[in-house]
Amino acid sequence: MKNDFVRLVITSGEPAGIGPQISFQAAQQFIKDKEDVNIHLLGDQQLFTPYISETLPSRLTIDHIPLSDSNRLGYLNVKNAPYVIHLLDKAYEGCRSHIYDAMVTAPLQKSIINDFGMDFTGHTEYLASKAGISKVVMMLCGEIDLPNVPPNCLMRVALATTHLALKDIAKTINRDDILETIQIIHQSCKQYFKMPQPKISVAGLNPHAGEGGYLGREEIEIIAPAIQEAKALGMDVSGPFPGDTLFRYKNIEQVDVFLAMYHDQGLIPLKMATFGRGVNVTLGLPIIRTSVDHGTALDIAANGNADIGSMYQALHLAYQMVKNGSSGT
- Residue 27: CATH number of its domain: 3.40.718.10
Task: Using the 3D structure, point to which of 282, 297, 313 is the last residue of a domain.
Answer: 282
For residues 100 and 110, membership in a common domain is answered with: yes
What is the pLDDT averaged over residues 71-80? 97
Domain co-membership, 82 together with 154: no
Indicate if the pLDDT at residue 170 is higher than 90: yes
Note the pLDDT of residue 329: 40
Do 200 and 257 have their domain in common? yes
Residue 120's Cβ-count burial label (10 Å; 0-12, 13-18, 19+) is: buried
Number of domains in the chain: 2
The verdict on 301 and 324 lying in the same domain is yes
* Higher per-residue confidence, 2 vs 128: 128
* 144 and 276 fall within a common domain: yes
Q: Does residue 185 sit in the same domain as residue 206?
A: yes
Are 276 and 189 members of one domain? yes
212 vs 198: CA distance, rounded Å = 28
Least confident stretch, 46-55, 145-154, 203-212: 145-154
pLDDT at 245 over 90: yes
pLDDT for position 145: 75
Using 50, 70 and 90 to split pLDDT, how confident is the model at 206? very high
> How far, in Å, CA of 212 to CA of 197, rounded?
30
Residues 194 and 267 in one domain: yes
Per-residue pLDDT, averaged over 90-106, amounts to: 98
| The pLDDT of residue 183 is above 90 | yes
Regarding whether 37 and 160 lie in a shared domain, the answer is no
Structural domain of residue 209, as residue ranges? Answer: 135-282
> Phi first, then psi: what are they for 320, rounded to 5°?
-65, -40
Q: What is the pLDDT of residue 3?
A: 59
**What type of residue sits at position 132?**
G
Distance CA 40, CA 292 (A): 17
Q: How many Å from the N-terminal Cα to the C-terminal Cα in the chain?
A: 16
**What integer is the mean pLDDT of 232-259?**
93
Name the pTM for this structure.
0.91
| Same domain, yes or no: 170 and 258 | yes
Q: What is the mean pLDDT of residues 302-307?
A: 94
Three-state DSSP class for 212?
helix
**Lowest pLDDT segment from 121-125, 133-137, 235-239, 286-290:** 121-125
Shared domain check, 83 and 5: yes
Question: For residue 327, is pLDDT > 70?
Answer: no
Helix (H) or strand (E) holding 135: none
Q: Do both 297 and 228 map to the same domain? A: no
191-217: average pLDDT: 95
- Ranking 30-34, 101-105, 281-285, 322-326 by mean pLDDT, the lowest is 322-326
